[in-house]
Amino acid sequence: MDAMHQIGDTILDVKGLWTVFRIRSGEVTAVNGIDFSVAAGETLALVGESGSGKSVTSLSVMRLLTRNIGAIAAGSIRLKRKNGAVSNLVSLKDQEMRTIRGNDIGMVFQEPMSSLNPVYTIGDQIAEPIRIHRGAGRKAAMDAAVTLLEGVGIPDARRRADQYPHELSGGMRQRATIAMALACDPTLLIADEPTTALDVTIQAQILDLLQKLQRERGMAMLFVTHNLGVVAEIAHRVAVMYAGRIVETGPVTEVFRNPKHPYTMGLLASMPKLGNASRMKQAGEKLAAIPGVVPSLGNMPSGCAFEPRCRFATEDCRKAVPPLFDVNPRHKSRCIRWQEI
């Protein structure tokens, strides 16, 4: 990321977020007391394996958890809105939250075919939030939708606006969902694995597009992914999640160059290196892998959740959940041995 990039006021400030799911035998904790913030013009990446809690975090911020199954049990989610007011999303009523979704917060989902309605045209779906939140008439909203489609790089936007999702390619559908998320010029954009379903070439185009739009609009972006290559490309800061907790956080360049948690080290070691494939094949080497799996929510280890999979673990790691230690004022690690490893 550009070192001269201007970061503004804090837009999203999450403190002590605790999210639970209700199951037959009781409650399990999916997000366990996490803190993070995102400023205007800044991208924070939430990274981790499936089951680490990153998507549940984004759904908690949007208050889109399935009623009677998932719930925010504690914490605050403060959002600086377009009018300058700061709202705690946790305490808002459903009706108030509906005025924020699509207006102050936009969201781009992983699979555009399932997040777009197949029976409405692309133009109608982009125009809808403009009509709801801005009170625009049908023609004005449709004209704005066409302008947005042009802004996200869709050629012949007027014709495309009259087409249905199945008539567009995967890359074009994802561009359309980005246009819909940005329709009302939100202060925060949440992108939940927005490039996972796309091929590598289109993925790069979507990342470039998101960076361009962020620079132009100065919005905050929370980017959820499991792909560390994408993080290096798009994010200013990274928060690595494991078993519902943030285990390491800091500037992307610093965390990637000098990781201070065994889980982060394992994720980085498992990434293929450009030009290494032929050498590894000749030497009979395999990509590094982290043994084991993310623990189930109902059966968390005592102490450090990563301890059963960690090659640096000691008896002390089983005694208590470690706090986030300060590596430096901007870099933190949830490992009692961070100074040794």
The string of pLDDT tens digits covering residues 216-263 is: 999 999 999 998 989 999 999 999 999 999 999 999 999 999 999 999
8: pLDDT strictly greater than 90: no
| 205, part of any domain | no
Which of 185, 206, 229 is the C-terminal boundary of a domain?
185
| 96, part of any domain | no
Domain total in the chain: 2
Using CB atoms within 10 A of its CB, is residue 163 exposed (0-12), middle (13-18) or buried (19+)?
Answer: middle
| 254, part of any domain | no
Token pair 């907790």 is found at: 245
| 128, part of any domain | yes
| 12, part of any domain | no
| 81, part of any domain | no
Structure confidence at residue 280 (pLDDT):
57
57: pLDDT strictly greater than 80: yes
Using CB atoms within 10 A of its CB, is residue 68 exposed (0-12), middle (13-18) or buried (19+)?
Answer: exposed
| 158, part of any domain | yes
Contacts of 231 (CB under 8 A, 6+ apart): 45, 47, 223, 225, 238, 252
- pLDDT (mean) for 129-138: 91
3: pLDDT strictly greater than 80: no
Which tens digit of pLDDT belongs to each residue from 192-214? Answer: 988 877 788 888 888 899 999 99
Name the percent of the chain lying above pLDDT 70: 94
| 339, part of any domain | no
Which tens digit of pLDDT belongs to each residue from 94-104? Answer: 999 999 999 99
**Lowest model confidence (mean pLDDT) among 118-122, 273-277, 315-319:** 273-277
- Residue range of the domain that includes 181: 109-185
Which tens digit of pLDDT belongs to each residue from 287-302? Answer: 788 888 888 888 899 8
How far is Cα 277 from Cα 260, in angstroms, rounded to an integer?
27
CA dist 324 → 133, 336, 340 (Å): 40, 9, 16
Which of 185, 209, 229 is the C-terminal boundary of a domain?
185
Which of 158, 185, 212 is the C-terminal boundary of a domain?
185
Structure tokens belonging to residue 52: 């680490």
CA dist 65 → 68, 111, 191, 300 (Å): 9, 18, 16, 22
